[in-house]
Structure 1
Amino acid sequence: MLKRYPVTYLPFDLLYLDGVPLFDLPYRDRRALLDELDIGAPPYFPGDSGLLAATSEQGLEGVVAKRLDSPYRPGTRSPYWIKIKNLNVREVVIGGWKPGKGRRAGGIGSLAMGVFTERGLTYVGHVGTGFTDAALDDLHRMLRPLEVPYSPFADQVPWRNRWVRPDLVGEVAYTMWTDDQRLRHPVWRGLRPDKLPAEVTP
């Protein structure tokens, strides 16, 4: 099994040593103890301001910045550790919308996005974050007259949607393209009335 699915162990932190909990030690001390064990911990880069740009050049999502004096707090979001993402921006065509739930019930929950390829409108994911309530109301009003009974996408979309004619172009920020050609972690930025749908290509 391991030959088929090799596993690499990369320890980033040290929480116990010889049965002694290290949660309250500062990160710099926990990291020093980890490095002394010589068990393949990946490098870290204290104070390296060029690291984020380097990860962007390599197509990586970003970095996790940790304060050197930070304790380890399991199960909670800590202000001592911050995820900093490399964000890209691009246009997408709206091909449908998924009805909302909870606070968004009766309106739009997320938008089905696509780009035009040689196969036609090709699905690249859903975007459900980055909207204000006013933006969702405006989009709902604009999309209702565009509704059609069939999917405008050339490929299968893995959600039940309300389909629309692909007439509207929007802009999203995202971290990267996945291996199956989806936008990872897309965030809505607004409509792009200056763009024609046919101009939105990979």
Structure 2
Amino acid sequence: DGGTVRLTSRNGKDLTAGYPELRELGTVVSATTAAVDGEIVALDSHGRPDFGLLQTRMNLTKASDVKRSARSAPVHFMAFDLLAVDGDSLLKVPYDERRARLESALKPGTSSSIQVPPSLDRSVEAAIAVSRELGMEGIVAKRRSGTYQPGARSRSWIKIKHHRMQEVVIGGWRPGNGRRASSIGSLLVGVPDGSGLRYVGRVGTGFTDRQLDDIMRTLGPLARDSPPLDGVPGADGADARWVEPALVGEVEFAEWTSGGRLRQASWRGWRPDKSPTEVRIE
């Protein structure tokens, strides 16, 4: 808006202060006002998005922490779609036209922290093969005639991932053993099911020591006496510390068991852009 940038997550959280380098977006948009849909990413040494590295930029509130983290883990904004420009809504406009308007409205340089990733107009199979070869997580396939449906899942816009991932609601944790005796051994997680949260298993791997410390600090104020998850086996809940089911994380896993549990689940990180009510079985 006239060079002023506001970054908002999908659940309405203002992220602007946490990513000062992305104020550059206001200088590369050739319009008075624009609403751009995209993703904030941190890139590894090979130029690939690194979700773990991005986690180090999340939930920072002190200006000094943001400044220090911006130096060690700079982020980029990948612009995927254009929702409105100069007061005109593009939500009902087909994707091909929105894409053309996006490329016309955003003209970043090659070294800019703002990028419009090239679209890949090929078969799904070919796109998946290219994604796998580049070491990416997967692809997003969009119907070229599809409109933009904010906040809704649609067959016109599909994520296809190489590995199985699932968003989960954190309902509690169990103390660790050995080196992790004074910390978290595993998280107890669930997914919405009807009017409650169905227990889907424990997550005990994938954490760094720093992440474990952060999770302990984050979950501490949310402590409660009773389990917020339905169907927790006695063995899993015997020494559990329960928390209010207010936070969402993402895990990678091998498969769903016949009993509806996550097998070999590994922590990927927080999803502050999601609320518990938005979590669905992937």
TM-score normalized by the length of structure 1: 0.56
Question: 161, 177, 184: which is aligned to 2:256?
Answer: 177
Structure 2 match to 1:4: none
Choose 1 or 2 for highest CA Rg: 1
Q: Root-mean-square deviation (CA), in Å?
A: 1.4
Question: After superposition, what is the alpha-carbon deviation per residue over 1:19-77, rounded to whole angstroms, capped at 9, x for unaligned?
Answer: xxxxxxxxxxxxxxxxxxxxxxxxxxxxxxxxxx9xxxxxxxxxxxxxxxxxxxxxxxx
Structure 1 match to 2:199: 123
More helix, by proportion: 2
Gaps of 5+ in 2: 1-128, 130-161
Question: 92, 96, 116: which is aligned to 2:172?
Answer: 96
Matches within 5 A, 1:46-65: none
Q: How many residues are aligned here?
A: 118
Distance 1:94 1:109 in 2: 14
Distance 1:164 1:175 in 2: 26
Distance 1:124 1:87 in 2: 18
Structure 2 match to 1:193: 272
Question: After superposition, what is the alpha-carbon deviation per residue over 1:109-162, rounded to whole angstroms, capped at 9, x for unaligned?
Answer: 000010001141100000000000000000000001000000001223341210
Identity fraction in percent:
54
Q: Do residues 154 (structure 1) and 230 (structure 2) align?
A: yes
Gaps of 5+ in 1: 1-52, 54-85
In structure 2, the residue corresponding to 1:90 is in which secondary structure? strand
Query: Greater RCO between the two (CA within 8 Å, min separation 6)?
Result: 1
* Conservation of the 8 A alpha-carbon contact between 1:97 and 1:109: yes
Question: After superposition, what is the alpha-carbon deviation per residue over 1:70-90, rounded to whole angstroms, capped at 9, x for unaligned?
Answer: xxxxxxxxxxxxxxxx73011
In structure 1, the residue corresponding to 2:224 is in which secondary structure? coil
In structure 2, the residue corresponding to 1:145 is in which secondary structure? helix
